[in-house]
A = this chain, B = another copy of it.
Amino acid sequence: MLEDKNQKRTSLSDLGEFGLIEHLTKHFAVNQSSTLKSIGDDAAVLDFGNKKAVVSTDLLIEGVHFDLSYMPLKHLGYKAVVANVSDICAMNATPTQITVSIAVSNRFPLEALEELFEGITLASKLYNVDVIGGDTTSSQKGLIISITAIGEANLEDITYRNGANANDLLVVTGDVGAAYMGLQVLEREKQVFQVNPNNQPDLENYTYLIERQLKPEARKDIKELLEKLEVKPTSMIDISDGLSSEILHLCKQSGVGCNLYEEKIPVDPQLIDVCEEFNIDITTIALSGGEDYELLFTIKMEDFDKIKANPNLTVIGHMTEEKEGMHLITRATTKIPLKARGWNALQNEA
């Protein structure tokens, strides 16, 4: 007997909109004390008491922001939450709630949406954010995800992009560039698969890069770490478009220049190997590859001693007077202008 591969496909139209919402959202628990009312009314109700609320939103479109041929739906759901949680972390705030709206064409069976929501649920548990609302509707083409994240913070802790001063140190968490190269590996495998669908990919040498692309993490830990180190960042942003692009945002909004040192940029050893294999310049990837969801921030120079021993934090440069401009100091100590090239721009060149 032939295997019925479609045995677990439930049509969305069988459920109806309200049935679908109930089915998908019934596992969302309320854990935040600030969530007074969650899903099920015209709006959710939040109580921030003396804290301030922080709000961020993102719209993700199939074929533009993700490719389902190598991005499993569960990972996509997880990553969509992470990207928004990361924006709240980049305010030096604590993420507390999210809303999730989904539009799908009728080619998606219920089981596909369940997988997506499994990833959303997993991330919301790990980051301790309540899913408090959303909207589920049909699209004419593909999958569309819109997430709004809400967080809380004391006013004095909230860190903007515009607070950097000349002589502040520029600090990055973790390492950069890996998520972009993970995407390159996956795209190469997709092309190999299209030529020979029986080919089994061997991805053992690329596990870190692929994980950074498919299952990135937001640096919710950094706010706590900086508090423990007694360091107050002066400006902060997360790395979604690429390191150089984010540095330029901080510089422009703060009215300062900067010197970034090529040799200081933290990269994973696996990234070095794979850049060699692909014959790509590693600094280009580190500067322009996006989706790392690391945090980039500035601190006062006198705080250097407090952070220098921490393996999570790397000083990669310092801010200067605005008139000095924004520069990359290469390994050969040449000073070249720093250009804003996000990973989208990079893709257009490829």
Residue in contact with A64 in the complex, picked from B58, B101, B103, B161, CB distance below 8 Å: B103
Contact A90 B52 (CB under 8 A): no
A103 to B134, CA, bound (A): 18
CB-nearest residue of chain B to A56: B43
A155 to B135, CA, bound (A): 24
Residue in contact with A42 in the complex, picked from B46, B90, B137, B150, CB distance below 8 Å: B90
Q: Mark A232-247 against chain B: 1 for CB-CB distance below 8 A, else 0.
A: 0000111000000000
Residues of B within 8 A of A48 (CB): 48, 53
Q: Does A330 contact B (CB under 8 A)?
A: no
A1 to B103, CA, bound (A): 46
Residues of B within 8 A of A64 (CB): 103, 137-140
Q: Does A148 contact B (CB under 8 A)?
A: yes
Contact A43 B101 (CB under 8 A): no
Q: Given A52-B47, A103-B64, A144-B144, verify A134-B57 contact (CB < 8 Å).
A: yes
Q: Given A53-B48, A54-B43, verify A59-B140 contact (CB < 8 Å).
A: no
Contact B53 A47 (CB under 8 A): yes
Q: Does A36 contact B (CB under 8 A)?
A: yes
Q: Given A90-B43, A158-B45, verify A57-B148 contact (CB < 8 Å).
A: yes
Closest Cβ–Cβ distance, residue A8 to chain B (whole Å): 26
Q: Does A62 contact B (CB under 8 A)?
A: yes
Residue in contact with A103 in the complex, picked from B52, B97, B144, CB distance below 8 Å: B144
A103 to B65, CA, bound (A): 11
Residues of B within 8 A of A56 (CB): 42-44, 133
Contact B135 A57 (CB under 8 A): yes
Contact B61 A133 (CB under 8 A): no
Closest Cβ–Cβ distance, residue A245 to chain B (whole Å): 9
Contact B58 A135 (CB under 8 A): yes
A221 to B161, CA, bound (A): 38
